[in-house]
Amino acid sequence: MPETMQETMRETMPETMSEPQTRPYQPIEAYALLSNCEGCALVARDGGIDWACLERFDSDPSFSRLLDRTRGGHFTIRPTERFETTRQYLSRSNILETTFTTQSGFVTLHDFMVGPEGGQRRPLLVRLVAGVSGCVPMIAEYRPLAGFAEDAAPLGIEGRRVTAPGCPGLVAEADFAAEGGLAIARFTLEGGQTRGFALYAGTLPETCPDARILMEETRRAWVLWTEGAAYVGPLADELMRSALVLKGLTYQPTGAMVAAATTSLPEEIGGIRNWDYRFCWIRDACLSFYVLKKFGMTREAESFFGFVTELCEREESRLKPLYSISGDADLKEIRVDYFEGWRGSAPVRHGNEAAEQHQADAYGQVLDLLYLYERLGGTMPEAMREHGARLADISAAHWHEPDAGLWEPRKPEQRYLHAAIMNWVALDRAIRLFGERAEWCRERDRIVACVNGEALHRDGYYPQYIGSDDVDAALLIAPMVGFPVDEAAFARTVDAVIERLGHGPLVYRYRNDDGLPGHEGTFLLCAFWLVDALLWLGREEEARTRFQALRALQNDVGLYAEEIAEDDTFLGNFPQAFSHLGFIHSALMLDLYEHGGRSAVQGTYADRSLRETKTRRAPTIAGAEAGE
């Protein structure tokens, strides 16, 4: 990892945390993700689990101090005296190791979630704290909250077992007692001593399970998944961390991937741009599974095909832009007005009304992934071929109509160029997959004529929508999908993005009015898209400089948020699938360019996936079928 990622946290902690006001909101970059591919949790550097949706990513949280420091619940394990922390994930896993350093000695805390392979009676989340040297006084504080309830649930404490209505139960190797509205355990750890803590969704066992055995089983499961990686170059560890994030955001029962693990972390501190991202955007998932495939992890994309197939069978006409992880389309947006919001950023939202928008780029994303699947040797089910052809018919009939756009502005629809380009992708891939049909060929050519003709701005760049003067970073993807851009116009578009949307290596999505008050931070995926666009233009040195600067913006355990403020602090929901897929894709683009020059980064996603280098082999669907 870059040297800037090696961080140490210095905290002065009170003897007890029974007064929540003593702990300020933690920076978003202070958190690390835990996942078992069903639910998730966020752990702060000080040992506090401040966010957890343990049974499903989109379920009501059990701990929500992330969004209300006085009302929201938490589960904290830490020394009682002043400490410093360093942390890392165990190699090729999503098991977090935090080391506390105090004047009295050293303690490690391992946090992990147990996957489905652990059986129905498994604990969902396990914490194992161990003394390394010296003699360190410790405290564990447990205060869950049943979803977005207005009041904390009453605690039932029976020695080493703690329960609360509507909340996970805790069983531990330490005795708890009620103190200031919390269940608190105090204990001392000497070198070699351990204490385990386990959270269960259902009936609690009488004793705490062996945390060491569970941790080793969980580690083996993660490591086994990573063995399919196709890339062995110098960035292998960092790319694997991003791949593990994408895997960790995938809901194993259905194959859907959530955009992020959280809701309502703001795009502007104190503003209203706070959205619920714990759902599956078709676009995000397609792009994420594309980069996982390119990285060598193909099985997840096959599961996602099943998810999309079921959606296509149920939807009589157009796909919605997002669904719940079980495929539900009703994502009514509810405001939790009595929650303060992270650093006072209200409202806190549950649900996302963007599900009611029409975003026309989804058809191209799905058909592009289907095309990649076949190019890698997969055999598409007949039902999916029929659905793919139907999506192409929709694109042919409606590509020229306005839509809401991929950035989901809360304003009237427009004829966005990104949507037109992705409709071209839908038609182009349908022709390649299913053969030429007159209406597909005709409308595909009409889109090219429109984008490179009437839509082109008078100054020679591609604007956000037809008739607009504004620049949109979404247009940076045009050559990446194989669209026949006018190279001179695209170069002018790239320069306009740098001049009007750039801030150092960072890039804003757009800077024009989007129908909402306030403003947002720079969007990390767009910064990686700019790296890709510069490589396509042959501007390698500029691309590499930007990429290295973006690498340095990961937090200390290699995670990215959705957005970054101009002072480099994290904004938006966390960790963000978009940002991690962008990081992997740009790294693999740079690898291609290094080994094959500009010609190696031309063409479609599928074309680039099949090009091997000295450090990356081409993935195949057959490898997934044999077991990764």
Q: DSSP for 252-274?
A: TTTTEE-SBS-B---SSTTSS--
Is residue 378 very low, low, confident or very high in pLDDT (cuts 50, 70, 90)?
confident
Mean pLDDT to the nearest integer, 342-369? 94
Query: Is the Cβ–Cβ distance between 96 and 89 less than 8 Å?
Result: yes
Which tokens go with 537?
């233009």
Task: Report pLDDT for 622.
Answer: 53
Lowest average pLDDT, out of 149-153, 430-434, 475-479, goes to 149-153
The helix-helix angle for 236-248 and 211-226 (nearest 10°) equals: 110
Is residue 133 very low, low, confident or very high in pLDDT (cuts 50, 70, 90)?
very high
Higher pLDDT, 544 or 316: 544
The angle at the Cα of 171, spanning 168 to 174, to the nearest 5 degrees, equals 135
Lowest average pLDDT, out of 325-334, 372-381, 431-440, 599-608, goes to 372-381
Task: Report pLDDT for 392.
Answer: 97
Task: Report pLDDT for 119.
Answer: 76
Task: Report pLDDT for 379.
Answer: 87
Which tokens go with 58?
């989109």
Residue 64 above 80 pLDDT?
A: yes
Burial (Cβ within 10 Å: 0-12, 13-18, ≥19) of residue 598: middle
Q: Which of the following CATH numbers is that of domain 228-610: 3.90.550.10, 2.40.50.140, 1.10.10.10, 1.50.10.10?
A: 1.50.10.10
Is residue 331 very low, low, confident or very high in pLDDT (cuts 50, 70, 90)?
very high
Q: What are the Cα distances from residue 628, in Å, to 113, 253, 282, 378, 606? A: 22, 18, 25, 15, 20
- What backbone torsions phi and psi does residue 48 show, to the nearest 5 degrees? -95, 125
Burial per residue of 94-129, b for 16 or more beta-carbon CB atoms within 10 angstroms, e otherwise: bbbbbbbbbebbbbbbbbbbbbeebeeebbbbbbbb
Task: Report pLDDT for 582.
Answer: 98
Query: Is the Cβ–Cβ distance between 75 and 141 less than 8 Å?
Result: yes
Residue 628 above 60 pLDDT?
A: no
The angle at the Cα of 376, spanning 375 to 377, to the nearest 5 degrees, equals 90
pLDDT digits (tens, 9 = 90+) for 1-43: 433 333 344 443 433 333 445 799 999 999 999 999 999 999 9
pLDDT digits (tens, 9 = 90+) for 69-121: 999 999 999 999 999 999 999 999 999 999 999 999 999 999 999 998 777 78
Half-sphere exposure of 365 (CA within 13 A, CB side): 27
Kindly write down the DSSP assignment for every residue of 1-29, as one continuous string.
Answer: --GGG---EEE---S---SGGGSPPPPGG
pTM for the model stands at 0.95
Task: Report pLDDT for 430.
Answer: 98
The helix-helix angle for 577-596 and 282-295 (nearest 10°) equals: 40
CA distance 349 to 148: 10
Mean pLDDT to the nearest integer, 368-372? 92
Residue 624 above 60 pLDDT?
A: no
Helices (H), 376-453: 382-398, 417-434, 438-451
DSSP run (H or E) holding 197: strand 194-200
pLDDT digits (tens, 9 = 90+) for 429-464: 999 999 999 999 999 999 999 999 999 999 999 999
Task: Report pLDDT for 410.
Answer: 84
CATH number attached to the domain at 28-224? 2.70.98.10
Query: What are the residue boundaries of the structural domains of the chain, listed by start?
Result: 28-224, 228-610
pLDDT digits (tens, 9 = 90+) for 205-243: 999 999 999 999 999 999 999 998 999 999 999 999 999
Is residue 276 very low, low, confident or very high in pLDDT (cuts 50, 70, 90)?
very high
Task: Report pLDDT for 20.
Answer: 44
Looking at this protein, which amino acid is placed at residue 611?
R
* Percent over 90 (pLDDT), the chain: 84
